[in-house]
Amino acid sequence: MREDWTEKYRPRSLSQVVGNESAIRAIRRWAESWAHGVPKVKALILKGEPGIGKTSSALALAYDLKWDVVEMNASDHRNAESIKKVAGIGSMTQTFTLDGEFLSSHSGRRKLIILDEADNLFGREDYGGAKAIVDTIRESSQPILLIVNDYYELTRRASALKRLATSVTFRRLDQSAIVVVLRSIAGNENVTVSLDTLGKIASNAGGDLRAAINDLQMIVEGRSHLDAEDTDVIGERNQEKELSRALSAMFGAKTVREAQDATLNLDKMPDELEKWIEESIPSEMKDPEDLARAFDALSRSNIYLRRAKALQHYGMWSYARTMMTAGVALSRKSGRRPHVSEYRFPSFLIVMSRA
């Protein structure tokens, strides 16, 4: 399996984080307030759109200060019990090393508690998760970072966070900053890419560095040189963001209708949508039995698609769509993988575009 470049080139220091200088300064000032004990403000809320450096900055801070990390994803820890177990108890009595070793607080260093996608706590699965976070901040003797895309949704359901935590805003990166990062990555990977090509990738990303790195990796795979026309396979980034939102809603659906409706307005033929879903299943599901059920549903969808084409009976597309959306989504019985906020362009379509 190929190594994810967004992880491979994740900053290991705040000095390596590109853009959002004012946000980085605010994080540093807050971290310095922990040097002489527990400060008044024990938590920061890092807010902003996906892919602009919030999680990377949090982890880079821990590397800089040699703080150990307790990292949680709200998509997997939505109820009060799991939050208290992992963050609440850990924030007061225990710690982990960056290598995963469990230490008691008296023998461990300062640790940073990171709750990613904290705004995802609120919905039908919320069983006191908001209160658990508020209580954890109040009782904690360790620094806490909440990472959110939707600050309003977070504070609407947990207004006490406005008093207990300070918010720090991350903004989209400008194109030139993204080009600098992409050029460095291309050089490290021994790939020759013109500035015009990097500029096109950066422009398509719309300020989302993670999306730009993913795009570069996808079109570079198996090549040592890129031209501007090689980026045509990516398409416009805003279309992919719409698709990403639809796929995220589909995989998170709890009913057949929800899963079907999630992709209803996408401008995708069923066979292309099937490829996107196929590419996304391993990122969304972690349990082997869930994966088996999902790919079984997808194979049934493919049967309908092939029959529709062979018989010229396109009424079968509706059956195919039901299997590839609801059939796949409802195959998952366990939790979703964390940090699934970007969906990859299907590798099959990339290969076909090069033929």
Q: What percentage of the chain reaches a pLDDT higher than 70?
A: 76
Are 215 and 84 contained in the same domain? no
Residue that terminates a domain, selected from 183, 218, 233 = 233
Task: Give the span between the Cα atoms of 124 and 269, in whole angstroms.
Answer: 32
Are 190 and 131 contained in the same domain? no
pLDDT band per the 50, 70, 90 thresholds, residue 353 = very low
Q: pLDDT of 161-181, one tens digit each?
A: 999 999 999 999 999 999 999
Are 250 and 129 contained in the same domain? no
pLDDT band per the 50, 70, 90 thresholds, residue 41 = very high
DSSP 3-state helix, strand, coil percentages of the chain (rounded to 5)? 55, 10, 30
Are 72 and 139 contained in the same domain? yes
Which CATH number is 80's domain given?
A: 3.40.50.300
Mean of pLDDT over the chain: 81
Q: What average pLDDT does range 144-148 have in this prediction?
A: 92
Q: Provide the residue range defining the domain that includes 202.
A: 175-233
Q: pLDDT of 84-143, one tens digit each?
A: 565 555 555 455 444 445 555 444 568 898 988 887 665 444 446 677 788 888 888 889
Are 122 and 255 contained in the same domain? no
Q: pLDDT of 249-293, one tens digit each?
A: 899 888 999 999 888 878 788 888 999 999 889 888 888 999 999
Number of domains in the chain: 3
Tokens 């150990």 sit on residue: 68
Q: pLDDT of 302-336, one tens digit each?
A: 999 999 888 888 788 889 999 999 999 999 887 66
Residue 82 has pLDDT above 80, yes or no: no
Are 22 and 138 contained in the same domain? yes
- H helices within 206-236, ranges in order? 209-220
Are 39 and 80 contained in the same domain? yes
Q: Is the dihedral of CA 219, 222, 225, 229 positive or negative?
A: negative
Are 188 and 82 contained in the same domain? no
Residue that terminates a domain, selected from 118, 151, 169 = 169
Are 162 and 30 contained in the same domain? yes
Q: pLDDT of 205-242, one tens digit each?
A: 888 999 899 889 988 887 778 776 666 666 655 566 67
Are 145 and 188 contained in the same domain? no
Are 131 and 92 contained in the same domain? yes
Verdict on whether the full-model pTM lies above 0.85: no
281 Cβ contact partners less than 8 Å away, ≥ 6 residues apart: 291, 294, 295, 298, 328
Are 219 and 245 contained in the same domain? no
Residue that terminates a domain, selected from 213, 233, 253 = 233
